[in-house]
């Protein structure tokens, strides 16, 4: 019986956070979950999220869509994929309202969640708040959120944001003072803190449960004093996270120790849509390496079930992703992890894992990339 409860627990709560670690304690994390409401639908969504990839089940629709409101950004953060996008000469535009509405009309009662961000800064799209209002207030989508550097927000914009019904806002805030201002130039440390405080104060004054507010930093920006970062944000934000950016930045991608048998869950639970409606391989395909469809011409459902998506899923089943899909060759998701050090925040021990690339002297591989590995490989059908 205990094992059944453990299994159910692990099925709805991420058992293996590879790159994202919450500094916030479990009770506050649970409160966040309750704040979003529709608890059963949320739990069912999490169940599908973790179990469809595990059993190679393709749900009728993805659980989640990244719908990129803008691919552009006013910042040039050193760890960001924007540099590679510029190198490739990609056009970085804004999602238009017609395409957005058509997509929401199709998915609002079939897809659990959308994020209006992916590679760029969504608040550069002047229609961002109208898009959220349409999805949340008119079409009653369960979960609508976005990630932002929050630099362009002023009090009037924050007041307007609070009328949209957005479920959560994730604010990228890397490090303290000089470190923050260096990475997130031209944003100012105190100004951004004041804006987030204003968002929380107005939300609470209005008696709103949402938006939940998450603040997150790359780990390398807070590694010298994670407690200081936590102490700053814990009273203001509902959740404080760090991203293990060693996964991304400590090695040249060609040195990642990629596990050929890794089964990436992405093609079984989510879809990444660029600002122009093109559907790409996944949320890690920042440089638009593989196009799986185009929402200007086809529906979400049709693309989700097309041959290209099928070939990607086959490659995961057959262990051939590194042969057929170039973005997977440069992706840390399928790289072996080293059991790294721990940090201590508020007396809690939190993991810091680093990529066990060939240049790194691996201590002990934790085998985490094998989590999804199962069964015998069939002969490849991916093309």
Instruction: Kindly write out the interface string for residues 41-80 of this chain, putting x where it contacts ligand SF4 by CB under 6 A and - elsewhere.
Output: ----------------------------------------
Of the candidates 288, 347, 365, 308, the residue with the CA atom closest to the CA atom of residue 120: 288
- Residue 294 CB, nearest distance to ligand SF4 (Å)? 19
* H helix or E strand, kind and range, residue 322: helix 321-324
Locate 144 and state its tokens: 């609508």
Instruction: Kindly write out the interface string for residues 121-140 of this chain, putting x where it contacts ligand SF4 by CB under 6 A and - elsewhere.
Output: --------------------
- Residue 208 CB, nearest distance to ligand SF4 (Å)? 34
Task: Choose one: 7-15, 107-115, 225-233, 321-329; the region binding ligand SF4 (CB under 6 A).
Answer: 321-329
Q: φ, ψ for residue 213 (rounded to 5)? A: -115, 120
Distance of CA 264 to the CA centre of its chain: 15
- Residue 56 CB, nearest distance to ligand SF4 (Å)? 14
Subset of 323-362 contacting ligand SF4 (CB under 6 A): 325, 327-328, 331, 333-334
- Residue 289 CB, nearest distance to ligand SF4 (Å)? 8
Task: Decide whether 66 or 151 has the Cβ nearer to ligand SF4.
Answer: 66
Taking CB under 6 A as the criterion, the residue among 143, 217, 266, 320 binding ligand SF4 is 266
Task: Decide whether 82 or 266 has the Cβ nearer to ligand SF4.
Answer: 266
DSSP 81: T
**212 part of the interface to ligand SF4, by CB under 6 A:** no
Task: Decide whether 20 or 342 has the Cβ nearer to ligand SF4.
Answer: 20
Integer Cα distance of 241 and 225 in angstroms: 14
Task: Decide whether 49 or 325 has the Cβ nearer to ligand SF4.
Answer: 325
* H helix or E strand, kind and range, residue 181: helix 177-183
**264 part of the interface to ligand SF4, by CB under 6 A:** yes
Task: Decide whether 62 or 211 has the Cβ nearer to ligand SF4.
Answer: 62
- Residue 270 CB, nearest distance to ligand SF4 (Å)? 9
**259 part of the interface to ligand SF4, by CB under 6 A:** no
Of the candidates 383, 271, 373, the residue with the CA atom closest to the CA atom of residue 317: 373
Integer Cα distance of 309 and 282 in angstroms: 10
- Residue 350 CB, nearest distance to ligand SF4 (Å)? 24
* H helix or E strand, kind and range, residue 39: helix 39-54
Subset of 280-299 contacting ligand SF4 (CB under 6 A): 281-282, 284-285
Order of strands across the sheet that contains 113-115 = 20-22, 239-243, 212-218, 168-172, 143-148, 113-115, 64-67, 270-273, 278-280, 291-294
Cβ partners under 8 Å of residue 302, min gap 6: 293
Of the candidates 22, 32, 80, the residue with the CA atom closest to the CA atom of residue 215: 22
Integer Cα distance of 263 and 374 in angstroms: 9
Task: Decide whether 23 or 328 has the Cβ nearer to ligand SF4.
Answer: 328
Integer Cα distance of 353 and 145 in angstroms: 27
Of the candidates 263, 215, 267, the residue with the CA atom closest to the CA atom of residue 64: 267
Task: Choose one: 86-94, 161-169, 319-327, 374-382; the region binding ligand SF4 (CB under 6 A).
Answer: 319-327
Judged by CB under 6 A, the number of residues near ligand SF4 is 13
- Tell me which residues touch ligand SF4 (CB under 6 A): 264, 266, 281-282, 284-285, 321, 325, 327-328, 331, 333-334
């Amino acid at each position: 019986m205990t094992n059944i409860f453990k299994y159910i627990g692990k099925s709805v709560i991420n058992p293996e956070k590879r790159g994202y670690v919450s500094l916030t304690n479990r009770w506050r994390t649970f409160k966040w979950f309750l704040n979003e409401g529709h608890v059963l639908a949320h739990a069912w969504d999490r169940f599908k999220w973790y179990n469809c990839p595990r059993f190679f089940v393709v749900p009728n629709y993805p659980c989640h869509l990244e719908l990129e409101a803008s691919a552009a950004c006013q910042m040039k953060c050193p760890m960001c994929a924007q540099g590679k996008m510029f190198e490739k000469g990609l056009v970085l535009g804004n999602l238009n309202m017609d395409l957005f509405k058509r997509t929401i009309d199709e998915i609002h009662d079939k897809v659990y969640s959308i994020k209006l961000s992916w590679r760029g800064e969504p608040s550069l799209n002047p229609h961002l708040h109208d898009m959220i209002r349409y999805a949340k207030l008119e079409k009653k989508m369960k979960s609508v959120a976005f990630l932002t550097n929050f630099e362009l927000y002023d009090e009037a914009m924050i007041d307007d944001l609070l009328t949209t019904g957005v479920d959560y806002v994730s604010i990228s805030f890397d490090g303290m003072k000089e470190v923050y201002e260096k990475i997130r130039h031209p944003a100012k440390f105190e100004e951004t803190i004041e804006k987030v405080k204003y968002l929380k104060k107005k939300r609470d004054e209005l008696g709103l449960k949402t938006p939940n507010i998450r603040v997150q930093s790359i780990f390398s920006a807070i590694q010298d004093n994670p407690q200081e970062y936590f102490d700053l944000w814990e009273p203001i934000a509902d959740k404080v996270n760090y991203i293990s950016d060693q996964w991304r930045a400590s090695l040249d991608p060609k040195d990642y120790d990629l596990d050929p048998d890794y089964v990436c869950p992405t093609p079984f639970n989510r879809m990444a849509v660029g600002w122009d409606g093109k559907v790409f391989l996944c949320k890690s395909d920042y440089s638009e390496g593989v196009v799986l469809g185009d929402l200007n011409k086809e529906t979400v459902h049709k693309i989700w079930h097309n041959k290209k998506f099928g070939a990607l899923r086959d490659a995961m089943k057959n262990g051939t992703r590194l042969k057929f899909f170039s973005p997977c060759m440069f992706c840390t998701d399928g790289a072996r992890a080293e059991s790294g050090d721990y940090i201590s925040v508020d007396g809690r021990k939190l993991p810091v894992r680093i990529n066990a690339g060939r240049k790194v002297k691996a201590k002990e591989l934790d085998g985490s990339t094998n989590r999804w590995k199962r069964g015998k490989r069939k002969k490849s059908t991916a093309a």
